[in-house]
């Protein structure tokens, strides 16, 4: 565990999601003194180019999956209602 050189508090590990350091972990002060020190080594330029695009693609796929799950729940509800109406119609009709 790294201690903050400014206030001697314990530092915590966080992950950067900025375009210049995507997925790179760093130490930061558990208080608000502003101390930052890198935990992971610097990434190669190609990884810095590719990772944001992969993250965007993953986020788009998750959003699409969530939309499709909502639509599936709605369609199941509609199917259940139509079956209920169908059964009630034939019970009353007989």
Q: Is residue 20 very low, low, confident or very high in pLDDT (cuts 50, 70, 90)? A: confident
Of the two residues 72 and 11, the one the predictor is more confident about is: 72
Q: Give the percent of the chain with pLDDT over 70.
A: 98
* Residue 11 in tokens: 């530092």
pLDDT of 35 > 90? The answer is no
> What are the backbone angles phi and psi of residue 24, rounded to the nearest 5°?
-85, 130
Mean pLDDT of the chain, nearest integer: 89
CA distance linking residue 77 with residue 83, whole number of Å: 10
What pTM was estimated for this model as a whole? 0.60
Predicted local confidence at residue 94, as pLDDT: 64
DSSP 10: B
């Amino acid at each position: 565990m790294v201690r903050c050189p400014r206030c001697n508090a314990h530092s915590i590990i966080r992950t950067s999601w900025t375009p210049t350091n995507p997925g790179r972990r760093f130490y930061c002060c558990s208080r608000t003194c502003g101390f930052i020190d890198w935990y992971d080594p610097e990434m190669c330029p190609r990884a810095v180019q590719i990772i944001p695009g992969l993250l965007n693609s993953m986020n788009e796929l998750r959003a699409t999956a969530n939309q499709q799950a909502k639509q599936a729940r709605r369609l199941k509800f509609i199917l259940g209602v139509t079956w209920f109406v169908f059964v009630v119609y034939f019970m009353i009709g007989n």
